Structure 1
Amino acid sequence: MLFQVGGQGTRPTFFEMAAAQQLPASLRAALTYSLGVLALRRPFLHKVLDYDDEFFALLMAVLETHSLRTTDASFSESLYGLRRRAVKITADKGTTSVESSDKVYNSGLRKHQKVLSVVFLVVLPYFKSKLHSIYNREREARLQASLWGQDDPGLDEAGFLLDQGETSHAQVETTSVEVSSVTHLKRKVMAIIGACYPWIHATNEGLSFAYQLLYLLDATGFYSPALHALGIHVCRATGQELMDTSSRISRIRSRELERLRGPPWLKAVQRVLLNCIYTTLDYAQTGLIAAVFFFKMMEWWYQSAEERMSAPTVYPPPPPPPPPKVAKDGIPLPPDRTLCPLCCQKRANPSVLAVSGFVFCYSCIFKYVSQHKRCPVTLMPATVEQIRRLFHDL
């Protein structure tokens, strides 16, 4: 089946390859967000955010080089148990067909393929990110020029101040010409990038989509144009390969420790540094995956906090006011609450006086308020406009 996750055989499924390809972008977003949150309390981290492209490229260069050297796979591919294999491998003449097939399956990458893999995994994405940022700035500049008009470049664009009392007129003219030529060349380069980058980006995305579609339809064994250019297939690692990875790493590290030269104290220092680097690289995968989890957790936490802050505050209903007290000279209340305090009969057309809350017959309270302009029980000032009919008996 095309959509079988964890399918049989050595060929990875489409979803495994897609997940391995999207992991670096998710990892970068997680690290950038985490540094952004930490920079709110540690302002010096803003300098790292200003060079996030270089910082992430250096980090991925170390991780990809270490992963390709030890596991013959990229950093993200090794997390999913995938390995890179060369497509064209020459077998020895004296071997049988079974031995030849085993050699093709177990053969690793050549040195130049590992170097080119680092170039395609780290260097080209770095330049693509830089071109994308330059294109965005150029597009914003064009939009601003179309809205506000193009201003003539002046000496402010040079980024320096000249002391007219100490420099001659010829030096000022020479410096101005140099600055204007550099600025003009820079603008030409940015204009060329702004014109060519959309086509380059569209071509790259179109080729990637075509290769992914062909890979999904089982028409090719290459998931991306970079793998096709390198002549590399991505295969699912066997159990034996996964078990041999640790022994392979230990052999590589033991050879590196044996190559140390110098006096004993220098060897000891180098050995400690190498052990620290090895420990860091061993826990890099776990640490970065934990960073992605931490990023998602912080995103959920801050999103929930923002929703709580933006949500309208719901307060509990206020307690009812205390009942008004009967005045000393007022009409006393009857013991039966269904009787009118004025006529001492069962209320007809019950109506409430808003200033006090007591209920009377409509005709009784209307006559009393019209004459005395007050509540008969509390003696509070009232008018006939404050009489409200009650319809609870309907």
Structure 2
Amino acid sequence: MLFQVGGQGARPTFFEMAAAQQLPASLRAALTYSIGVLALRRPFLHRILDYEDEFFALLMLVLETHNLRTTDASFSESLYGLRRRAVNIRTKKDVAGSKSDNGSPHSNLEKRQKVLSVVFLVVLPYLKSKLHSIYNKEREARLQASLWGDDNERFGDVGNFVEEEDSPVSRRSLDADASITARMRKRAQKVIGVCYPWLHASTEGLSFAYQLLYLLDASGYYSVALHALGIHVCRATGQELMDTSSRISKVRNLERDRLRGPQWLKRLQGALLSCTYTILDYAQTGLIAAVFFFKMMEWWYQSAEERMSAPTVYPPPPPPPAPKVAKEGIPLPSDRTICPLCSQKRANPSVVTVSGFVFCYACIFKYVTQYKRCPITLMPAAVDQIRRLFHDM
């Protein structure tokens, strides 16, 4: 049940349905990022980002309407080779009519189901996105008011008082209408701020329950929208794909035959229809290819920037050569733990920084105080150049 990824059976797997459901959100994020990258060099594209919800809803409205009209599937479902089928059983007359019209015994979606599918796929997600943005603004306003207080309410009364002293009646009426509109807007925002979390939790809970039931084969509906519309999502067979392509070609030929007007106008309309059909046919492939291209360019330029900004790591320099032992100096013992001055085990080992040799602290302190030099290399040294070692070598 969980591993029917190979395409066996008409019922899609949970992973296919989940991938089809998450594709629009991933596509929106990728398109937003792509437009943001292009807007760095073309600032006018920031207007699209200002109306991101409307732009994406319009794009999905065109794609979903076209796909439901031609393939009886949503944009993401058609990409995964899925089709929507009505659950209600049709009469023999309807089945015979569908056979004669389309050449296949399957039943297409009704017009009402297609329209409601567009509503569930485009309109409701758009409204939810706007409610989510309003809720975020209201939450930020509440947080700011709790921290700093509401400045608008404190200073708004003073401005109205000053204006009312010298303003005409018309301005007073306009200000009153504006204040009423502002109050209504604030009340609506407060209502959304209170109700949206419950609405969001309810929808997410229902979605989780339907997905869990679908995963356990306890229900044939993957979502609430499919259950409300009475639609099952099934895998498309090869015959259905052939019937779909033939039906699309018939519909387009009929649309070309309906063109009226002079010859030049027919040619112009035919060229526009051909361009529209080409764009709609390759919209899926073009969008996926564009998203892949921009993500690849992002990775390419990001890795190049990281290489340029990363500091160059050079290998550590080799240690300097050890100082030479002077002929007149004290010879070094074979055991490195023995002090060269007292020929005993070192006590409180200390190093002379000018040469790097280690001695007992008492021995080297007396020697440097008296002779002002290192006893082995005879290099000039002072008492303040003696350092205590806490780890004897």
Fold similarity call, TM over 0.5 = yes
Q: Which residue of 2 aligns with 1:342?
A: 329
Q: Is the 8 A contact 1:366 1:384 kept in 2?
A: no
What are structure 1's unaligned runs of at least 5 residues?
327-331, 335-340
Q: CA deviation at 1:90?
A: 2.3
| Structure 1 residues 35 and 378: alpha-carbon distance in aligned structure 2, compared to 1, 3 A threshold | farther
Structure-1 residue corresponding to 2:268: 269
Alpha carbons of 1:322 and 1:94: their partners in 2 closer, same or farther (altered >3 Å)? Answer: closer
Contact 1:113/1:230, CA 8 A, preserved across alignment: yes
- Residue 235 of structure 1 aligns to a residue in which SS? strand
Using the TM superposition, give the Cα deviation of residue 313 of structure 1 relative to its aligned residue in structure 2, in angstroms. 7.6
Offset of residue 379 of structure 1: 4.5
C-alpha displacement at 1:179, in angstroms? 1.0
How many residue pairs get matched?
Answer: 371
Normalising to structure 2: TM-score of the pair? 0.79
Give the AA of the match of 2:184.
Answer: L
Distance in 2 separating the partners of 1:312 and 1:142: 44
Question: Which secondary structure does the structure 2 equivalent of 1:277 belong to?
Answer: helix
Query: 1:384/1:128 Cα in 2 relative to 1: closer, same or farther (>3 Å)?
Result: closer
2: CA distance, partners of 1:131 / 1:59: 20
Match of 1:70, as an amino acid? Answer: T
In structure 2, the partner of 1:211 is 210
Q: Does 1:114 align with 2:114?
A: yes
Deviations 1:252-286 (A, max 9, x none): 22222222222222222222222222222222111
Residue pair 1:4, 1:13 contacting (<8 A) in 2 also: yes
Match of 2:52 in 1: 52
Q: Quick one: distance in 1 between partners of 2:313 and 2:332?
A: 44
Tell whether the 8 Å contact from 1:369 to 1:384 is kept in structure 2 after alignment: no
| Amino acid corresponding to residue 116 of structure 2 in structure 1 | L
Measured at CA, do residues 288 and 94 of structure 1 come closer, stay the same or move farther in structure 2, by a change above 3 Å?
closer
Query: What's the secondary structure of 2:84's corresponding residue?
Result: strand
Of 77-86 and 358-367, the range deviating more from structure 2: 358-367
* Identity %, equivalent residues: 70
Greater mean deviation of Cα atoms: 237-246 or 1-10: 1-10
In structure 2, the partner of 1:333 is 326
Distance 1:380 1:282, change over 3 A: farther
Report how far residue 64 of structure 1 moved.
0.7
Q: 2: CA distance between counterparts of 1:203 and 1:366?
A: 82
Work out whether residues 6 and 13 of structure 1, in 8 Å CA contact, stay in contact via their aligned partners in 2: no
Match of residue 285 from structure 1: 284
Residues in 2 aligned to 1:206 and 1:363: alpha-carbon distance in whole angstroms: 79
The residue correspondences of 1:133-172 to structure 2 (distance < 5 A) are 133-153=133-153, 168-172=167-171
State the SS of the aligned residue for 1:106.
Answer: coil
Where do residues 7-156 of structure 1 align in structure 2 (5 Å cutoff)? 8-93=8-93, 106-153=106-153
**Matched residue SS, 1:234:** strand
Contact 1:64 1:74 in 2 (8 A): yes
2:35–2:49 CA contact under 8 A, matched in 1: yes
TM-score of the aligned structures, taking structure 1 as reference length: 0.79
Q: 1:385 to 1:148 in 2, by over 3 A?
A: closer
| Deviations 1:152-203, CA, capped at 9 Å, x for gaps | 548979xxxx999xx9522331221111111111112222222222232222
Asked if the contact 2:353–2:385 (Cα under 8 Å) also holds between the matched residues in 1, the reply is no
1:192 aligns with 2:191: yes
1:221-276 CA-partner distances (Å, limit 9, x unpaired): 22212112222111111111123333333222222222222222222222222222
Give 1:46's aligned amino acid.
Answer: H
Shift of 1:83: 0.5
Q: Structure 1 residues 380 and 265, CA, compared in 2 at 3 Å: closer, same or farther?
A: farther
Aligned AA (1:342): G
Specify the code of the residue in structure 2 equivalent to 1:275: S
User: CA 1:50/1:363 → structure 2, altered by over 3 Å: closer, same or farther?
Assistant: closer
Cα deviation, 1:306-363, whole Å, max 9, x if unaligned, reads 9889989855323434667x8xxxxx834xxxxxx41457576248632144689999
5+ residue gaps, structure 2, are 341-349
1:44-71 CA-to-partner distances (Å, cap 9, x unmatched) read: 2221111110011011111111111111
SS at match of 1:112: helix
Over 3 Å counting, the alpha-carbon distance change for 1:310 and 1:214 in structure 2 is farther
| d(CA) in 1 for partners of 2:9, 2:31 | 35
Q: Secondary structure at the match of 2:269?
A: helix
Q: For residue 13 of structure 1, what is the amino acid of its counterpart?
A: T
Aligned partner of 1:338 in structure 2 is none
Cα distance in structure 2, aligned partners of 1:207 and 1:383: 81
Note closer, same or farther for the CA distance 1:154–1:366 as it changes in structure 2 (3 Å cut). Answer: closer
1:337 maps to which residue? none
Name the structure 2 match of 1:329. Answer: none
> For 1:137 and 1:110, how far apart are their aligned partners in 2?
40
Instruction: Say if 1:238 and 1:182 are closer, same or farther in 2 by CA, change over 3 A.
Output: same
The CA RMSD over aligned residues, in Å, is 3.9
Structure 1 residues 71 and 195, CA, compared in 2 at 3 Å: closer, same or farther?
Answer: same
